Amino acid sequence: MTSRLGRALASVTGCALLAACTSMPTDGPVREPQVSTATDDAPGISFDPRPPQAGESPTDIVEGFLEAMKATPITTTVARQFLTSDAADAWAPEEQVITYAEPGPPSGEAFVQVPLTDINFYDDRGAWQRSSPGRTLELGLVQEDGEWRIDALPDALIVPESWFGDQYQRESLYYLDPTAEVLVAEPVYVPRGDRSASSLVRGLVTPLPAELTGVATTFFPAGTRDGLSVPIIGGIAVVDLSGDPAAVDEETGRRMLAQLAWTLRQDPRVRAIQLSVGDRAITVPEGSSEGGLDAGNPFDPDGQRPDPDLYALEDGRVVSGTIDALAGTLGPLGGDGYDVRSIGVSISGSHVAAVSTSGTDLLLAPTQAPDGEVSTPVQGATDLDTPHWDYRDRIWVLDRGAGRARVLVVTDGVAGEVTVPGVTGRSVKKILVSRDGSRLVAVVRGRAADRVVSTRILHDATGTVLGATPLQQLPLPAEASPRVRDVGWRSPTSIAVLRKINADFSLVRTVAVEGAPGDVETGGANLVRGPTRSLVSAPVEGSDVYALGPNLFANVVRPERPVPTLPEGLSALTYVG
């Protein structure tokens, strides 16, 4: 009775103090733990923690438990030895990961409290949820067979942020947008090494959280996570799901394979996928039981990438080509007679949207048809920023509005306004919209500092924009100016942020668009010598990032690469999108 009462009290306290009563799933299939007892599948130095010793005090037990969760390769075998037998059976560390900077000294006996600082919460898919500057972890202890053991604790793996960074890597789960036309990347953190494929698929088949309603959808039927493991045999990822095979028709199977292909192609060991549901093989249209990693290509938000995909204005005319060979386009804006200051080019490269020099009008024209029509879907604005395109050929453009911003979207040549709480009506310097149409990033001006914020764009099944989610502020370290000079896409789930350090240097950091802490590994932080004003980047793997300024043109991510001297009169350099 004492054990049950202690567990109940400490669970309530732990929810209030540590997890802020994070909602956990209460139905659905039994889930395989993401924290396994495997000992041969993770990189790095092995750490085999010490089990509990006879006669240890409650605080010793708690310290040993926290230390045991740092086992490498990742395992909870020793950590469970610090728990009572009932708690060891009930503990589900796969439900979430909680990271912290450094633990404070534990105190107490029946209830041991441990102060934690700089906390981050990750859900059962591995997706970052939120941060907290500090909470108190409270664990309930009882005596079992004459020894102190933990009997009440959160269902979480609780580890230092530094350990988490070494043992987990940032990847993406791929879902479909509400129209089921395009893949949407959702960033997650999964264990490094041989378990990454299993962790990715377990995350993918986990039911989507409610906050992604209107943003993404999945074609995996409920109940497919039971006993899930993904062996890789000869480069083939064998994904054997439980569930009702009758629920998977040909179109559902096609989209499941698309989601799997783009999710598992992040694991370099995988070259093909073998998918089955309830012992029934899900085949590709050609009848093969193996799906290639290109199964998601028809749902690629990049579509058929144009060649070339760099565009600019040269003396007011639209040009395109490679960075060292830009030539005039054939469309009407490739000639004289139009006075424009910035451009955005459709992802296919077929059309260009241009902002008039006055900033009041948006012009739209084809890039390759000399006799093509020039329309003006936006007229009479106050101060239009650079336009952006998504995969549906919608044009998104910010009207800064003299400190009262409006977000405009042009669909089929008709402009409308989308209300974005926290952006609309504010002083906004710039917006970005992702190619899949699911994310909007904005630089919001403040009196002393700028904020970089992100939101999700909500759609219905027809693709109609319904609104936007509450803003998430992206963390920016304080080592550079509080003013943001420019932002640009670095990947579908990260952006590059340009800020000034001093008169001689600028800093480009790559940060997670969902708000997770720290630099994203791809891109990281880069110093640029000289005064800079803008970035040129694209969310495409392998693409170069350029920093531009007065008499400056530099390759940010490959500074060793020589870059040409840009011709006089060249401006508004941009990738498609």
pLDDT value, residue 32: 32
Contact 312, 336 (CB under 8 A): no
Phi-psi region of 187 (alpha: psi -120 to 50; beta: other; left: phi over 0): beta
pLDDT value, residue 563: 86
Q: What Rg value do the Cα atoms of the chain yield, rounded?
A: 26
pLDDT value, residue 247: 86
Task: Show Cβ contacts of residue 206 under 8 Å, excluding neighbours closer than 6 positions.
Answer: 31, 124, 125, 225
Angstrom distance (rounded) from CA 203 to CA 230: 12
Angstrom distance (rounded) from CA 209 to CA 130: 14
DSSP 8-state assignment for residue 219: -
DSSP 8-state assignment for residue 539: S
pLDDT value, residue 420: 97
Contact 76, 70 (CB under 8 A): no
Query: Which three-class secondary structure state does DSSP give residue 325?
Result: strand
Closest of 3, 24, 58, 567 to residue 317, by C-alpha: 567
Q: What is the largest CA-CA distance in the chain?
A: 90
Contact 471, 455 (CB under 8 A): yes
Burial track 230-241 (b if 16+ CB lie within 10 A, e otherwise): bebeeebbebbb
Return the structure tokens found at 75.
Answer: 């395992």
Angstrom distance (rounded) from CA 57 to CA 97: 26
Task: Show Cβ contacts of residue 411 under 8 Å, excluding neighbours closer than 6 positions.
Answer: 392, 394
Angstrom distance (rounded) from CA 278 to CA 245: 5
pLDDT value, residue 287: 53
Dihedral angle sign, alpha carbons of residues 183, 189, 192, 198: negative
DSSP 8-state assignment for residue 370: T
Dihedral angle sign, alpha carbons of residues 513, 514, 516, 522: negative
Angstrom distance (rounded) from CA 343 to CA 571: 10
pLDDT value, residue 31: 30
Determine the number of helices (DSSP H) and then strands (DSSP E) in the chain.
7, 36
Return the structure tokens found at 543.
Answer: 């693409």
CA 381 to mean position of chain CA atoms: 33
Whether residue 73 has a cis bond before it, omega within 30° of 0: yes
β-strand partners of 150: 83, 141
pLDDT value, residue 559: 87
Angstrom distance (rounded) from CA 503 to CA 513: 28
How many Cβ atoms are within 10 Å of 524's Cβ, its own excluded?
12
Contact 138, 112 (CB under 8 A): yes
Phi-psi region of 199 (alpha: psi -120 to 50; beta: other; left: phi over 0): alpha
β-strand partners of 442: 431, 453
pLDDT tens, N- to C-terminus, the chain (577 residues): 333 323 332 333 344 344 333 332 323 322 333 343 333 344 557 899 999 999 999 999 999 999 999 999 999 999 999 999 999 999 999 999 999 998 999 999 999 999 999 999 999 999 999 999 999 999 999 999 999 999 999 999 999 999 999 999 999 999 999 999 999 999 999 999 888 999 999 999 999 999 999 999 999 977 665 558 899 999 999 999 988 888 899 999 999 999 999 999 999 999 999 999 988 998 876 555 577 899 999 999 998 776 668 999 999 999 999 888 899 999 999 999 899 999 999 999 999 999 999 999 999 999 999 999 999 999 999 999 999 999 999 999 999 999 999 999 999 999 999 999 999 999 999 999 999 999 999 999 999 999 999 999 999 999 999 999 999 999 998 889 999 999 999 999 999 999 999 989 999 999 999 999 987 866 667 899 988 999 999 999 889 999 999 888 999 988 888 888 888 899 999 999 9
Angstrom distance (rounded) from CA 470 to CA 487: 20
Closest of 6, 11, 9 to residue 21, by C-alpha: 11
Starting at the edge strand found earlier in the chain, the sheet holding 484-491 runs 484-491, 494-500, 505-512, 525-529
Contact 399, 408 (CB under 8 A): yes
What domains, with CATH codes, occur in the chain? 2-167 (no CATH), 171-299 (no CATH), 310-575 (2.130.10.10)
SS3 content of the chain, % helix, strand, coil (to 5): 15, 35, 45
How many Cβ atoms are within 10 Å of 129's Cβ, its own excluded?
18
- Give how far Cα 52 sits from Cα of 90, 185, 547, Å: 19, 42, 55
Angstrom distance (rounded) from CA 215 to CA 470: 13
Is the pTM higher than 0.75? yes
Q: What are the strands, taking DSSP E only, across 219-285?
A: 232-233, 236-241, 272-277, 280-282
